[in-house]
Amino acid sequence: MSAGTFSPAPGRAPMRTIIGKQIRMELLLTARRGEAVVLAMGVPLLVLLGAGLFEVTNLPTDDRLGFVVPGVLALTVMSTAFTGQAITTGYERSYGVLKRLGASPLTRPGLLLAKTAAVLVQIVLQVLVLGAVGFAVGWRPHGDQLLPAIAVTVLAAAGYSGLALLLASVLKPETTTGAATLIYVLMLSVGGIMFAAPDLGTAGWFLLPLAAHAEALRDTLLYDTSVPFAIWLSLGTWAVVFLTAAARNFRWE
Partner 1 sequence: MVGGDVAAAVELSDVVVSYGEKTAVGGVSLSMPRGRVLALLGHNGAGKTSLLQVCEGFRRPDAGSARVLGLDPVGDHDELMPRLGIMLQSGGVYPWAAAGEILRLFASFAANPLDTGMLMDRLGLRKVERTRFRRLSGGEQQRLSLAVALVGRPELVFLDEPTAGMDTEARHTTWQLIEELRADGVSVLLTTHLLDEAERLADDVVIMKSGKIAATGTPASLTAAAGIDLLEVRADPGLDLLTLPFPAKEASPGEYSITGALDTRALADVLGWFAATGAHVTAVSSRRRTLEDVYLSLTSDLVGASQ
Q: Can you give the binding site for partner 1, defined by CB under 8 A?
A: 1, 3-13, 17-18, 21-22, 25, 28-29, 32-33, 92, 95-97, 99-100, 102-107, 252-253
**Which lies closer to partner 1 via its Cβ, residue 105 or residue 138?**
105
**Which lies closer to partner 1 via its Cβ, residue 2 or residue 58?**
2
User: Which is nearest to 149 in space by CA: 226, 233, 204?
Assistant: 226
Shortest Å, Cβ 153 to partner 1: 28
Shortest Å, Cβ 3 to partner 1: 7
Compute the chain's Rg from CA coordinates: 20
Shortest Å, Cβ 61 to partner 1: 42
Shortest Å, Cβ 32 to partner 1: 5
**Which lies closer to partner 1 via its Cβ, residue 140 or residue 251?**
251
**Which lies closer to partner 1 via its Cβ, residue 99 or residue 172?**
99
- Sequence-distant (6+) residues with CB within 8 A of 183 are 82, 83
Q: What's the sign of the alpha-carbon dihedral 197, 198, 201, 207?
A: negative
Q: Could you report how far apart the first and last alpha carbons of the chain are, in Å?
A: 37
> 122: number of CA atoms within 13 Å, CB side?
31
- Sequence-distant (6+) residues with CB within 8 A of 11 are none
